[in-house]
Amino acid sequence: MQLTLTLNGVRCTDEVQADTTLFTYLREKGCLSVKCGCETSNCGLCTVWLDEKPVLSCSVPALRADGKKVTTLEGLQDEAAEFGAYLADEGAEQCGYCSPGFIMNVLAMSRELTHPTEQEIQEYLAGNLCRCSGYQGQLRAIRKFLAAKGGCV
């Protein structure tokens, strides 16, 4: 079936199957930042934006994105590097496998919430699992990032 969408600002038309997930489609399109860590919609590794909203690409059929705008970390390289530098300065990226999905959600949060409290930050990001960092360094990075952007906690 035919799928037309805007992927990281580029209009794409592709043939996909009815049961192809957005995750599989994006990996096939070379968006290899998008990772899969579970089969049960629990880990948040596959987070991308669908019309600017963070979603689990493993749970969204590719065809549902028809006519929509999809953004992955490949399309947000400058912002990824900007926030990522704060994460790196804490050493909190650790293995990095959850970083793309996590950063997609941090960037979504920074657009959606103005001056979030610490509790709001933790709740917004609760769907992003990380087994390495214990989350503390991620929070330090977010605080510094938001403070630098004027959206301080």
Of residues 57-86, which lie at the interface with another protein (CB under 8 A)?
Answer: 58-61, 63-64, 66, 72-74, 77, 80-81, 83-85
Nearer to another protein, 64 or 69 (CB): 64
Distance CA 72, CA 46 (A): 9
- Give, in order, the Cα–Cα distances in Å from 44 to each of 1, 6, 14, 150, 152: 27, 22, 26, 27, 25
What sections of 16-131 are H helices per DSSP?
A: 22-28, 77-90, 99-112, 118-124
- Rounded to a whole number of angstroms, the minimum distance from the CB of residue 96 to another protein is 3
Nearer to another protein, 42 or 117 (CB): 42
- Number of Cβ within 10 Å of residue 123's Cβ equals 12
Q: State the helix-helix crossing angle for 99-112 and 77-90, rounded to 10 degrees.
A: 110
Binding characters for another protein, 79-118, by CB under 8 A (x = yes): -xx-xxx-xxxxxxxxxxxxxx--x-x--xx---------
Distance CA 86, CA 110 (A): 14
Distance CA 56, CA 72 (A): 11
* List 12, 136, 149, 152, residue binding another protein (CB under 8 A): 136
Using CB under 8 A, which of the segments 5-13, 35-43, 144-152 binds another protein? 35-43
Query: Do 123 and 72 contact (CB within 8 A), yes or no?
Result: no
* List 9, 10, 11, 18, residue binding another protein (CB under 8 A): 18
Nearer to another protein, 5 or 73 (CB): 73
- Rounded to a whole number of angstroms, the minimum distance from the CB of residue 39 to another protein is 6
* List 10, 11, 40, 150, residue binding another protein (CB under 8 A): 40
